[in-house]
């Protein structure tokens, strides 16, 4: 049964018939649409669609992209991502075209249906326990990104992902940033692994818990990491030049903790304990304990810098709050703020 949400002419951003590549809203819409196409590619595959019946192509062709390659999981042969090349007609050339991406590497999140469900859930659980650095899917994704950068350089290459796919894009973006390749990255509803403090309604209780957590995490980092603390801080500082764009919804408990994560850093600076927070912000309690037992672990979800966009429009349910479709809605109430690690 085909979902209307997969049909571009019904659910896609038809309002964006002309793209201004300098406009953040337009760039966000294109990135989200290409991520959606990865979901539809996999659903087309599961339903054995013929080329003439496939729904996925409309999601990239509308914006004049062509599909270069699908990224296929070696465990279940599901499509989890794709590489797109921007190929506009000569008649489309305009003053903003230099800001358009040459290539976009996009990753979908979990599909809770049929063939890919078991593998996606396995990766979700692996991400919660260990991150993504020891999975074959992340290896395939990382190699694909390296190949594109090696072939064309890192200018105007985008990474984009939703949910589990945004964790994949984060993993690739972080690794490339460490080697000096700063790729523009769009992370839609990225998972943040932490106690859901942001869900607490009482602001004083919420702030008190965050402050206590910062002091505890910083103290634990000093106690457990000791002489390795400086190298960890240097790595975080190097990563700070990479500024991914995060898109979160307060009603989505999977990603909403990013709101408090960045806002709390600013508040700790205001009350004069920024040095404590700078140490706490690059460590998670779970990863510190793993390191103490000799297990290599880097908290993938902790980011030094970001452009954080919050969708303040009310969401009727969790599915809507966590969905990719919200990010091309033209009348969404969005608030954006840039955070830089210093």
Residue 273 has what pLDDT? 74
* 261 in Cβ contact with 193 (< 8 Å): no
* Residue 67 resides in a domain: yes
For residue 182, the enclosing domain spans 4-188
Mean pLDDT on 70-81: 92
Enumerate the β-bridge partners of residue 124.
none
Task: For residue 268, name the pLDDT band (cuts at 50, 70, 90).
Answer: confident
Residue 86 has what pLDDT? 96
β-pair type (103-107, 157-162):
parallel
- What is the pTM assigned to this prediction? 0.86
* 3 in Cβ contact with 10 (< 8 Å): no
pLDDT at 285 over 60: no
* Residue 322 resides in a domain: no
* 165 in Cβ contact with 35 (< 8 Å): yes
Three-state secondary-structure class, residue 17? coil
pLDDT at 135 over 90: no
* Residue 265 resides in a domain: no
Work out the mean pLDDT of the chain and round it to a whole number. Answer: 85
- Tens of pLDDT, residues 252-263: 999 999 999 898
* Residue 312 resides in a domain: no
Residue 122 has what pLDDT? 66
pLDDT at 308 over 50: yes
Residue 321 has what pLDDT? 97
Mean pLDDT on 52-62: 96
* Residue 202 resides in a domain: no
* Residue 44 resides in a domain: yes
CA distances from residue 99 to 27, 84, 126, 156, 290 in whole angstroms, order as listed: 10, 16, 36, 7, 42
In whole angstroms, give the CA distance from residue 307 to residue 339: 6
pLDDT at 280 over 80: no
pLDDT at 236 over 90: no
In whole angstroms, give the CA distance from residue 61 to residue 33: 10
β-pair type (306-311, 334-339):
antiparallel
The number of CA neighbours under 13 Å toward the Cβ of 273 is 14
Among 96-105, 153-162, 218-227, name the one with the lowest average pLDDT: 218-227
Task: For residue 232, name the pLDDT band (cuts at 50, 70, 90).
Answer: low
Identify the CA nearest to 300 among candidates 154, 138, 160, 159: 138
Among 32-36, 76-80, 150-154, 209-213, name the one with the lowest average pLDDT: 209-213
pLDDT at 224 over 80: no
Enumerate the β-bridge partners of residue 161.
107, 187
Residue 288 has what pLDDT? 53
Residue 333 has what pLDDT? 97
Among 19-33, 37-51, 60-74, 197-211, name the one with the lowest average pLDDT: 197-211
Identify the CA nearest to 289 among candidates 212, 217, 337: 217
End-to-end alpha-carbon separation of the chain, Å? 51
* Surface-to-core class of residue 71, CB atoms within 10 Å of its CB (0-12 exposed, 13-18 middle, 19+ buried): buried
Task: For residue 204, name the pLDDT band (cuts at 50, 70, 90).
Answer: confident
Residue 94 has what pLDDT? 76
The total domain count for the chain is 1
Residue 220 has what pLDDT? 66
* Residue 340 resides in a domain: no
pLDDT at 144 over 80: yes
Mean pLDDT on 298-321: 92
* Surface-to-core class of residue 202, CB atoms within 10 Å of its CB (0-12 exposed, 13-18 middle, 19+ buried): exposed
Residue 265 has what pLDDT? 80
pLDDT at 225 over 90: no
* Residue 78 resides in a domain: yes
pLDDT at 218 over 70: no
Percent of the chain with pLDDT over 70: 79
Percent of the chain with pLDDT over 90: 55
């Amino acid at each position: 049964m085909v979902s209307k949400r997969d049909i571009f002419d019904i659910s896609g951003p038809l309002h964006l018939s002309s793209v201004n590549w300098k406009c953040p809203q337009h760039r966000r819409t294109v990135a989200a649409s290409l991520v959606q196409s990865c979901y539809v590619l996999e659903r087309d595959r599961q339903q054995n669609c013929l080329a003439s019946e496939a729904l996925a192509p409309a999601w990239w062709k509308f914006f004049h992209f062509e599909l270069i390659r699908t990224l296929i999981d070696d465990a279940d042969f599901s499509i989890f991502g794709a590489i797109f090349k921007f190929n506009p007609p000569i008649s489309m050339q305009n003053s903003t075209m230099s800001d358009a991406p040459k290539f976009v590497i996009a990753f979908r999140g979990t599909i809770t249906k049929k063939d890919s469900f078991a593998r996606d859930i396995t990766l979700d659980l692996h991400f919660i326990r260990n991150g993504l650095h020891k999975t074959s899917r992340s290896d395939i994704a990382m190699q694909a990104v390296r190949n594109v950068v090696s072939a064309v350089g890192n200018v105007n290459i985008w990474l984009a992902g939703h949910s589990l796919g945004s964790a994949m894009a984060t993993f690739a973006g972080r690794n490339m940033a460490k080697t000096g390749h700063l790729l523009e990255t769009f992370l839609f509803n990225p998972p943040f692994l932490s106690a859901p403090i942001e869900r607490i309604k009482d602001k004083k209780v919420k702030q008190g818990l965050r402050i206590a957590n910062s002091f505890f995490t910083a103290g634990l980092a000093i106690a457990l990491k000791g002489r390795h603390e400086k190298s960890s801080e240097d790595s975080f500082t190097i990563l700070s030049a990479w500024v991914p764009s995060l898109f979160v919804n307060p009603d989505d408990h999977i990603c909403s903790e990013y709101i408090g994560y960045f806002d709390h850093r600013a508040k700790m600076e205001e009350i004069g304990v920024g040095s404590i927070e700078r140490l706490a912000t690059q460590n998670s309690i779970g990863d510190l304990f793993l390191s103490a037992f000799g297990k290599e672990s880097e908290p993938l979800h902790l980011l030094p810098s970001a452009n954080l966009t919050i969708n303040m429009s009310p969401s009727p349910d969790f599915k809507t709050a966590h969905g990719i479709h919200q990010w091309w809605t033209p009348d969404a109430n969005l608030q954006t703020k840039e955070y830089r690690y210093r």
